[in-house]
Chains A and B, each alone.
Chain A
Amino acid sequence: MDEVLYWKALNLALDAEMEADESVFVLGEDVGLYGGSYRVTEGLYAKYGEWRVRDTPISEGSFTGLGVGAALVGMRPVVEIMTINFSLLALDAIVNMAAKVPFMSGGQFPMPLVVRMPGGVAKQLAAQHSQRLEQMYMNVPGLRVAVPSTPQDAWWQLRQAIRSDEPIVLLEHELLYFSKGPLDVEAKAPPMHRAQVRRDGEDLTLVTYSRMVDLSLRAAERLAEEGISVEVVDLRSLRPIDWESCARSIAKTHHLLVVEEDSRFAGAGAEIAAELAERCFFELDAPPRRHGGEELPIPYNGTLESRCIPSVSSIAGAARALLGGKQPGETP
């Protein structure tokens, strides 16, 4: 099987869908002539022309809203927002419009809109460019939120998102764009929002998503050497969430650790831990725990930056502490 970079998988997905359906078009800042800030739209401008690969002015609110309007009349816009931090300027289009119009029209209009954006802590981009903010979109009925962590999922989930008639936010990650993984373009896609067990284990269920999947797998490897068997569940989606897959794993391990990159307070992990505690209370041998980022805007300084988000060793530490009955913050 071919190994490809994550951005290339997204690029292939866009190309395949644009080829298959003339109503698919992409728009965003520097997606055309320049080829995309992270190369995701590379080559598409030359192939499909300016109307289908539209370079926009720096007007997130209105070009995302343009996507909403075009979707109302049956186009399949794929809006690229350069980073999730800028999507704060497009929240009205995403939350007040895309998620609401099909509903408040009484079900009259399609909304085949995809809004793609990377987020997360990359390499010293400082506080304004280092947020995840996924919990904002999770809290909106009418939206779907997918978080592909591998090139294979990037390929599958972007194509599924484009083909869906519902509005979908696709959260990518700056540090995943240049990660490599196998891609089988012929393989049959699983349902778009189904979670996947990335590593089997017996002692602890580790639920995570996006870039934290890779870190968690490496932590699990380290823990295996110590005789601790961790099952890693990649959610692949944050709305809806595949609770059944998580619950199945918890029924086996009786322990739950949620790992997220963004600051922990009222983050994605809070919802995940609360729901699974309600569902699996009698299966759990210990209180579920969350391991997430510090309650700080991300500092520019590289050493401090890496201290602010989970690392392989901090994840391993959190797992040991949970299994050892230690309180959060206690030395494992």
Chain B
Amino acid sequence: MERETKVSMLYDMLLARAFEERAAREYTQGNIAGFLHLYPGEEAVAVGVLHAAEPSDYVVSTYREHVHALVRGIPPDAVMAELFGKRDGCSRGMGGSMHLFDRERRFMGGYAIVGETYPVTLGIAYAVAMRELPEAVICFFGDGAVNQGTFHESLNMAALWKLPILFVCENNHYQIGTEIHRHSAVAEVYKRACGYRIPARRVNGMDVLAVYQATQDALRHIREGTGPQFLEFETYRFRGHSMADPGTYRPKMEVQAYESTEDPVVVAIEETLQHYPTPEQIAAAGPDSIARMTTHMNDGGLLSAQELDRLKARAEEIVERAVEFARRSPEPTMEEARAALECNRGAEVLL
């Protein structure tokens, strides 16, 4: 992999972290309202997957999608303005944090009912397959979403008709506050794809290089016309489910271990574990993806400390500007809301 790609991925992770931490601050100050689901901890997944994708591929995401949107290339200004509910937001202030859309960048939306991303993906992929185009559709969902009926319905149809879909499970081990062993009879999510004969792998979602590589491989197969692929990325969110969630259900040790450890050794938590992992297991389970990537680049002589500082400063500056932009953007009007509802009316006469 080229140095440039690595630097670019590290920068996107830094930007993502800075953006989300700032969003949290703006939320506590009352500039962002509603539900705010943040991504710190999971950056390697969005960044690795979307860097491996082509701009012509479609992306369908969930309500924890700010970073997917940013990595996809939606300007931070437009994302932050949407979080602020302003007119210059990427959804004109009508969607908010959970509903970022950008048609031009094929960012097909953030969907806030768990399990909706599968059928939307299915439909886009059906159109792609019908038109015999080389594009793929990337479908994000969390571990909590795999017990929804649409998961099984959609995987079945995707496999049945060999649709060009990359299913991406962001397994952060928690369905809001319910740990995976308490919500899933089979906690190794990738194994479920076997029931639909979809090739599937479990990958360390804290390692952006591993994510990138696995995604590239999967997309290559998809473009060969062999049908859908399934990747489960094991990851961890450092914050609560949303800003309204203090996250008290998780042992402090567990959260700290994920946040602070820089040990690159990954030990998958035992498959049959029916209780929380021991502190030792957690300590060995995986580090912060940004720390890992920084170490990797330092050790490889790819990035000096000064360069890293410059990247961080640039990310902070971009985020600062985005907040300023969002603040200045005007409130949308009721007329604009009505226009959004009737955006597809055209010259049609109804009555």
Contact = CB atoms under 8 A, between A and B. Distances in A.
A192 B350 contact: yes
Interface in A68-103: 68-75, 77, 92-93, 96-97, 101-103
Contacts of B337: 103
A63 to B, nearest CB: 7
B153 A106 contact: no
A208 B346 CA distance: 29
B119 interface: yes
Interface stretch (B95-103, B206-214, B221-229, B269-277): B95-103
Interface stretch (B3-11, B154-162, B169-177): B154-162
B193 interface: no
A145 to B, nearest CB: 12
Interface stretch (A7-15, A51-59, A170-178, A286-294): A51-59
Contact of B341 (A25, A70, A93, A142): A142
Contact of A104 (B95, B103, B121): B95
Contacts of A104: 91, 94-95, 99, 101, 340
A164 B344 CA distance: 8
Given A73-B124, A104-B95, A165-B344, A65 B118 contact: yes
Count class of interface residues, chain B: 35 or more
Contact of B122 (A51, A65, A106): A65
B109 A62 contact: no
A73 B121 CA distance: 11
Contacts of B123: 65-73, 75, 77
Interface in B125-150: 125-130, 149-150
Contact of A59 (B60, B156, B348, B351): B156
B119 A61 contact: yes
Contact of A75 (B60, B93, B99, B127): B127
B92 A166 contact: no
A129 interface: no
Interface in B312-327: none
A61 B351 contact: no
Specify which of B101, B123, B130, B150 lies most central, judged by the most chain A CB atoms within 10 Å of its CB: B123
24 contacts: A51-B130, A62-B118, A62-B150, A63-B153, A63-B157, A66-B122, A66-B123, A69-B60, A69-B121, A69-B125, A70-B126, A75-B123, A93-B116, A96-B116, A97-B120, A103-B341, A104-B99, A107-B92, A107-B343, A108-B101, A108-B103, A110-B344, A111-B344, A165-B346
Interface of B: 58, 60, 89-95, 99, 101-103, 108-109, 111, 113, 116, 118-130, 149-150, 153-154, 156-157, 160, 337, 339-341, 343-346, 348-351
